[in-house]
Amino acid sequence: MFASANWFLIGYNKPMREKQRPICPNVVDLFVVIITCMGVLFLAFPLYADEQPCAKVEVSKVELPKAEKAVKQLEEAKPEKSAADNKVSKAAKAEDGDAEAEAVKPEEQITVDIEALKTRLKETDAIGVFTKLAIRSDILDLVDEINRYRKQAKLESKINELRASFDGLLLKMVALLEGDPILSRDLYVSRESIWKSLLEVKA
């Protein structure tokens, strides 16, 4: 008897009709949750995207005096400047009045300031604490290896091997920083400066 009963054939009173609606309420709830999640993602993405250029502008404002000092030191130390250094110094000198020039040549400025990169790596949320410690250990191991070869006077012969290790480590970092693409790009752009600074570290 009950097996053959259909909801649309039975004359329910109003409270029972409310209960026996054809659409399952759980499906509606699920639909509301999915729509809300999509709405949050849709609304949050422009905020996240807007945040990136703002942070970049702030960082570049902080870095510029340091960049200018570093460029001046380089100019004093080396009278023969490379073409890239010329671009950097020109961009740094134009900092006072011309904001557009900064936007055109951001990569050359970033290559100078290693300390700011270190700070940004320490403060980024794109990787966790243990990952940062693991990367730090790898860098310290590489520096130890460089110093060991330097003491044994084998640095020149092993330089390609060490550079390959450094490139691998840098690529790992760039891949891990997918949540902070600007820092990832800045690290990659500054790889030559980072490599030089690692070679300069003494035991």
Residues engaged in binding another protein (CB under 8 A)? 28-29, 32-33, 36-37, 40-41, 44, 48, 125-131, 133-138, 140, 172, 176, 179
Report in angstroms how near the CB of residue 147 gets to another protein at its nearest: 16
Q: What secondary structure, in 3-state letters, does the chain show? A: CCCCCCCCCCCCCHHHHHHCCCCCHHHHHHHHHHHHHHHHHHHHHHHHHHHHHHHHHHHHHHHHHHHHHHHHHHHHHCCCCCHHHHHHHHHHHCCCCCHHHHHHCHHHHHCCCHHHHHHHHHHCCCCCHHHHHHHHHHHHHHHHHHHHHHHCCCHHHHHHHHHHHHHHHHHHHHHHHHHCHHHHHHHHHCHHHHHHHHHHCCC
CA gap 202, 155 in Å, rounded: 13
Report in angstroms how near the CB of residue 131 gets to another protein at its nearest: 5
Report in angstroms how near the CB of residue 51 gets to another protein at its nearest: 11
Report in angstroms how near the CB of residue 150 gets to another protein at its nearest: 22
Rank residues 92 and 177 by Cβ distance to another protein and give the closer one. 177
Rank residues 96 and 125 by Cβ distance to another protein and give the closer one. 125
Rank residues 103 and 140 by Cβ distance to another protein and give the closer one. 140
Report in angstroms how near the CB of residue 187 gets to another protein at its nearest: 16
Rank residues 179 and 181 by Cβ distance to another protein and give the closer one. 179
Report in angstroms how near the CB of residue 38 gets to another protein at its nearest: 10
Rank residues 140 and 164 by Cβ distance to another protein and give the closer one. 140
Rank residues 28 and 62 by Cβ distance to another protein and give the closer one. 28
CA gap 72, 89 in Å, rounded: 8
